Chain A
Amino acid sequence: MTRVDCESACRSAMARKDGYVSDLSADQIEAHLADCSDCRGEVRQLRALANLLDRQKRRQRTENIWEHVEQHLPDALPARSTSRVWRAFVVLGLLLLGYRLVEMIPDRHLGLLFKLVPILLVIAAFSYLRENPFKINSELTLEGRVTK
């Protein structure tokens, strides 16, 4: 059996009281506590404290917070997400337009990598929006209406 230090023994003894099994076995903890009167005293005090805390009751709050939350809900989500989506698509459109213009320059041999740019741009846009374009939305709602 390896030698156990005081801190680990006390910590593990308290953890066991809380129902958590640490790296130290019950035998190792007990053996240490049997030998060390300081740790015995420490654990006894901490157990008494834990028992005292377990007997306490938490004060329950009864205020109604819904009114305040409800006031802020209508303009909280739609404004933010709609503008974010529009911004992303405007930027994507501009970038694709720029790509098309570059592509139209005559007598220029652009590599295969350049041809992948539109696909990469679309992937980047959907990643930014955290949207999966292949996902079928089974809960489609009309604009401005929320299903319950």
Chain B
Amino acid sequence: MDAVQEAFIDCFQALDRVDLTRRFYSWFYVILRNRCYKLASRRNKREMSNSDETEILAPAANVQPEETMLLEQAMLELPAEDRELITLRHLDGLSYQELAERLQVPQGTIMSRLHHARKRLRDKLTRHSFTGLSGD
């Protein structure tokens, strides 16, 4: 929450540098991301694990609460970059093109990073004895 508030103020201060040819939210997202990293580096690990970040997923229809709980636990164990990518792709539904624009990297890099992030998440879930990945 602090990061979002600070990001809005950063954004206001940087309004004269906004590039009107690009999407506003992509530009704002970069500011927000930088602010998150600054805040994260200020806090120690213990504070981070107890912070607002511990609620990523909400109860959804057709999903067992235990599944959601284990998935959230596994996601929290991922590196921040992996969690960000998976959240943007699967929970926010961004395409590779949108992800590339938002994170300012080529689409090929998104493909590669997302693949490794999902593999790491799969490994975490397996370690938590999650049984829902047997296949279609």
Instruction: List A residues at the B interface (Cβ < 8 Å).
Output: 10-12, 14-15, 18-20, 22, 44-61, 63, 65, 68-69, 72-73, 76-77, 80-81, 130
CB contact between B9 and one of A54, A69, A130 (< 8 Å): that residue = A69
Which residue on A lies nearest to B94, using beta carbons?
A18
Task: Find out whether the CB atom of A55 lies under 8 angstroms from the CB atom of B56.
Answer: no
In the complex, whether B17 has a CB less than 8 A from a CB of chain A is yes
* 6 A-B pairs with the lowest CB-CB distances in the bound complex, closest first: A53-B90, A57-B60, A58-B91, A44-B135, A59-B58, A20-B96
Interface contacts (Cβ under 8 Å), in number, total: 112
SS class, residues of chain A in contact with chain B: helix
Q: List A contacts of B15 (CB < 8 A).
A: 77
Which residue on B lies nearest to A81, using beta carbons?
B16
Task: Find out whether the CB atom of B12 lies under 8 angstroms from the CB atom of A77.
Answer: yes
Q: List B contacts of A54 (CB < 8 A).
A: 90
Task: Find out whether the CB atom of B58 lies under 8 angstroms from the CB atom of A69.
Answer: no
Q: List A contacts of B13 (CB < 8 A).
A: 76-77, 80
Task: Find out whether the CB atom of A56 lies under 8 angstroms from the CB atom of B68.
Answer: yes
Task: Find out whether the CB atom of A57 lies under 8 angstroms from the CB atom of B57.
Answer: yes
Which residue on A lies nearest to B112, using beta carbons?
A11
What's the Cα separation between A65 and B32 when bound, in Å? 14
How many Å from the CB of B124 to the closest CB on chain A?
A: 11
Task: Find out whether the CB atom of B96 lies under 8 angstroms from the CB atom of A15.
Answer: yes
What's the Cα separation between A60 and B52 when bound, in Å? 12
Task: Find out whether the CB atom of B58 lies under 8 angstroms from the CB atom of A65.
Answer: no
CB contact between B67 and one of A14, A50, A52, A57 (< 8 Å): that residue = A52
What's the Cα separation between A45 and B133 when bound, in Å? 5
